[in-house]
Structure 1
């Protein structure tokens, strides 16, 4: 088995970048955000639909995959500006090789404390389930790729456990929050992959979103588990080269760096594998000893379970609501 390289595309406009992607004949990945239409007509910028005509330009590509733009949505807009129904309708508008479930990333820029990380895991689990239900309505469930999230290796396991019924040999799972992650350490990229390799059934493979090229040699021992990686890192190298040369970052320059980046990744994948020492997963969070903090923790757990089960919407966790919920639990324990 080998790890497949998928080229992340910044857009589907005709020009040197798309021409280079066609020439390389590798699978490509487009973000939902790159296909969005926006309007300022009402005095503020709002999302108004999809640029579906752009999908015609995918003709000639080896294949095209779709990403939900979870990190961009969180970092730039504070959440998805479109509904899950809108997103799945986009996925149904083109014969994508695969399309990723919506997910709630947990990079430090987005989830700033442990509680927010766990909240976003619950929302990711619910989003996966909702995307599958909507995919079945559209008849595209067979191309849906579930996406798991986490900060610690065991966080990803929580998502896997919730989706276990849909994981069979031959399944492909997307692994999110990887592109800004260190390679080394107990929460590093390889620790996550190694932990998933130990807990997943044989035959279930992974797509690792945004993996940096320097990590590829460490992934070679996991070719039985890693099916593919994607990146748009060539755009960053093109920007750096343009800055050094004092020229503009043209699409022609970006296309040239795309070809160089692909060649470099293929060389890394054909080189010798590197191994890191095994890291034990981080210990689970200790239960708080303070009664009020314990009530808060229980309230959060109960609310997350309701989100995962579909009894609450994704974004229905608010601080005042958690405190009220915890107050009820606290009073019940005092009375008991």
Structure 2
């Protein structure tokens, strides 16, 4: 079964990009942020709901997937501007093929410290549970796509364990925080996929968000485990091309790069499958903790468990709250 190439669309405006995507008969993906309405009346961006009318322009695409725009939300706005209910109002407004869960990305520019990575994995587990429940309520469970997050390969395993209910044969699971990741290396894209291939049940397939096209020959080596990839890398190529030639980055130029990029991916898929030597992940150092640091670690672990189970809203958690929890642990010792 061939890996499917999914085109990441920058918008759903009628014009050259959308027309080219239709003519290519390729599955497409749109970000929730691309369908958002924003206002700067008060001097800063305020989210004002969805531009649902644009969804009518998606007619004629072979299929359309919906992404929650996790990285953009964290990078530009410091978090999601929309709730789970908001997101599923959008998800239920069009027959999307796949509806990706909200998730909490772990790129270095978003999560600089190890504890923050672990916190974001727990938040991702909770977000998946909330999105699954809403998808069931709305009759969209068959289109819901769980999403895994992590930094190291073992992090993705931890996330998959928290989402055990979704790891069923026939399920396509999204793998996040991939678009800025190197292909090789102990924490590279291939190492993550290799680890998931070993620990996930047979029949669970992966969609790699933002995978580098250069990874395709390596991903072919995992047989049917990898279902699809998506990317908007052609937009970056169009920007560079316009800058180099001192021309405007028009939608016609972007459409040309879209088609060129897609052809290149199919060329890569025709290359022989490649396999890398197994990587040994670097050990995660755990320096000795004093009593206060140990209490903080216990408090964080207990809070993460409550977030994952749905007994605590992660928005309620603050550093002061964690410290008070740790102080209670020490006083009870």
TM-score range with shorter-chain normalisation? Answer: over 0.9
Aligned to 1:302: 302
Q: CA deviation at 1:77?
A: 0.2
Aligned to 1:158: 158
Aligned to 2:272: 272
Mapping of 1:78-157 within 5 angstroms?
78-157=78-157
Q: CA deviation at 1:315?
A: 2.3
State the alpha-carbon separation in 2 of the partners of residues 29 and 42 from structure 1.
Answer: 32
Unaligned runs of 5+ in 2: none
SS class of match (1:315): helix
In structure 2, relative to structure 1, the CA distance for the partners of 1:285 and 1:99 (3 Å cut) is farther
Contact persistence 1:105–1:120 (CA under 8 A):
yes
Unaligned runs of 5+ in 1: none
Contact persistence 1:153–1:282 (CA under 8 A):
no
State the alpha-carbon separation in 1 of the partners of residues 287 and 316 from structure 2.
Answer: 24
State the alpha-carbon separation in 1 of the partners of residues 66 and 205 from structure 2.
Answer: 18
In structure 2, relative to structure 1, the CA distance for the partners of 1:321 and 1:288 (3 Å cut) is farther
* Comparing 212-221 and 232-241, the one that deviates more: 212-221
Q: Structure 1 residue 74 and structure 2 residue 71: aligned?
A: no
SS class of match (2:221): helix
**1:134-188 CA deviation, whole Å, 9 max, x = no partner?**
1111111110000000000010011111111222110110000001011111111
Q: How many pairs are equivalent?
A: 333
Contact persistence 1:195–1:281 (CA under 8 A):
no
Cα RMSD for the two superposed structures: 1.2
**1:183-223 CA deviation, whole Å, 9 max, x = no partner?**
11111111000000000000000000000111111111013
Q: CA deviation at 1:282?
A: 4.2
State the alpha-carbon separation in 2 of the partners of residues 268 and 280 from structure 1.
Answer: 27
SS class of match (1:229): strand
* Comparing 222-231 and 285-294, the one that deviates more: 285-294
Contact persistence 1:17–1:254 (CA under 8 A):
yes
Aligned to 1:49: 49
Aligned to 1:171: 171
Aligned to 1:231: 231
Q: CA deviation at 1:285?
A: 5.3
SS class of match (2:314): coil
State the alpha-carbon separation in 1 of the partners of residues 310 and 14 from structure 2.
Answer: 41
TM-score, length basis structure 2 = 0.98
SS class of match (2:187): coil
